[in-house]
Structure 1
């Protein structure tokens, strides 16, 4: 799958800005507890994101999963490690370009371009986690949030992970997500999840709202009000739980 140059630049811009913001918030205090990730502190967030960056550096280098993994980084200063790795991942993606064959978890995209998108979205979500800890949450860019909605629905939920019925939330419902003029219709049962762009057909429930709200709800970082949903509430709750199974 070819990533257009302008889209690659878009992801790198947000990766730089959101990773810098995460570093800034980290310096407000590492011990602050993260309400969206019970048991984590801001330091936990920084260490996690640093390890994610290091992992992708090795994936891009090897074109395969690194083994053994992970390295022992306990003795490293969290902020120093994070700053080092956030700079390195931008360099590595830029040097790799968007068409380098590599390992990804997507059945349809085995190029380095996949990691441009994934690293930008990984970073903005954990930037939100750190901001929640310090009660200084700033908005997610509208276009990036819309792209994040598409990724979690089409790549994560809509992947071929469910054929063995390995889920605690079989759902068996059709849910539609609508935001900023775009819609995704998700037909989910115990052994499949089919996500179709558009708003055709009947649904059991529909969720609608600003991209920022929907994106953060899908990732379990924000609640939706009753005015932002209609239809079967139980189906909506089970749908969100199913999303959590494939996005943790």
Structure 2
């Protein structure tokens, strides 16, 4: 499947969950489903704007028209409309087009993958809020882990927090138990991060399904639900600074 088809499926799943928008979302403290839906729909419109207008400089999502009145929240229909706009834009944009991103790849091809996992994680947020056990297929979760690690060194708001750990040289090894996936994260100076695929020994090692590893990285699954070896305190402190 393509990123576009996965985005379409995930957007439909999230829209189907957007019934009672007053439900609190524990994994996004202070939000209800209304705020979550509004955030995701605004993000879709932001990405579509960047691609359609070939934006070259940083632009914040709040700077892009949402179609909502001031103070109004989005609903399922509004979310679906924004997803449709995004999908149409993605399908008609040259992946090699040079545009602004906040990640390492300054091309249009960066956006579909980022938008997919923005949706996956917030769909999980909505399901957890509604008492539904989320399911992320292993192959999607593996790609999500690598997308997270690929972008993490460029998330300045995260690396600033990681610098506070003063953990230069510390290593965390992730091992998926249900798919072919192993990664080692190395903390560098001033909050910088490096990562590599493969099996190595880390100061801390975490084993779990690909889905659980992905949700742990995003702060949606406690490491206590996984198998942790070595310096569990390092893992806990690193996760508290790294989730975005």
Separation in 2, partners of 1:165, 1:233: 19
* Number of residue pairs the alignment of both structures matches: 233
CA contact (8 A) 2:34 2:73 kept: no
Q: Does 1:89 align with 2:86?
A: yes
Unaligned runs of 5+ in 1: 1-8
Aligned to 2:142: 146
Structure 1 SS opposite 2:240: helix
Gaps of 5+ in 2: none
Whole-Å separation in 2 of the counterparts to 1:49 and 1:76:
11
User: What is the alpha-carbon distance in structure 2 between the residues aligned to residue 33 and residue 122 of structure 1?
Assistant: 19
2:159 is equivalent to residue 159 of structure 1: no
* Aligned equivalent of 1:132: 128
Q: SS of 1:225's equivalent?
A: helix
Aligned match of 1:69: 63
SS in 1 for 2:167: coil
Determine the structure 2 residue equivalent to 1:105: 102
TM-score, length-scaled by structure 2: 0.87
Whether the 8 Å contact between 1:206 and 1:230 is mirrored in structure 2 is yes
Describe the SS at the equivalent of 2:195: strand
CA contact (8 A) 1:159 1:193 kept: no
Please tell me whether the aligned partners of residues 37 and 74 of structure 2 are also in contact (alpha carbons under 8 angstroms): no
Residue 37 to residue 77, structure 1, CA distance change in 2 (3 Å):
closer
Deviates more, 1:30-39 or 1:63-72: 63-72
Looking at structure 1, the residues matched to 186 and 5 of structure 2 have their Cα atoms a distance apart, in angstroms, of 34
Q: What is the CA deviation profile of residues 18-61 of structure 1, one whole-angstrom value per residue up to 9, with x for unaligned ones?
A: 1101000012x110010101110111110000110111111102
After superposition, the C-alpha distances for 1:126-149 in whole angstroms (9 at most, x for unaligned) are: 001111111123301211111111
Deviations for 1:184-214, whole angstroms, at most 9, x for unmatched residues? 11111441211122123x4211111111110
Aligned to 1:16, which of 8, 26, 30? 8
1:1-248 alignment to 2 at 5 Å?
9-27=1-19, 29-64=20-55, 65-66=58-59, 69-71=63-65, 73=68, 74-75=71-72, 77-107=74-104, 109-156=105-152, 158-159=153-154, 161=156, 167-172=163-168, 173-179=170-176, 180-191=179-190, 192-200=192-200, 202-225=201-224, 228-244=227-243, 247=244
Find the aligned partners of 1:97 and 1:34 in 2 and give their Cα distance: 36
Q: Normalization by structure 1: what TM-score?
A: 0.85
Root mean square deviation of aligned Cα? 2.3
**2:239 alignment partner, SS class:** helix
CA displacement at 1:87 relative to structure 2: 1.0
1:136–1:113: structure 2 CA closer, same or farther, 3 Å change rule?
A: same
Relative to structure 2, which stretch is displaced further, 118-127 or 168-177? 168-177
Q: Give yes or no for contact 1:50–1:81 (8 Å, CA) kept in 2.
A: yes
Residue 86 (structure 1) shift: 1.1
Could you list the runs of 4 or more consecutive aligned residues of structure 1 that deviate by over 6 angstroms after TM superposition? 162-166
Give how far 1:181 is off.
2.5
Residue 152 of structure 1 deviates from its aligned partner by: 1.2
Moved more, 133-142 or 51-60: 133-142
Say whether the 8 Å CA contact 2:98–2:108 is kept in structure 1. Answer: yes
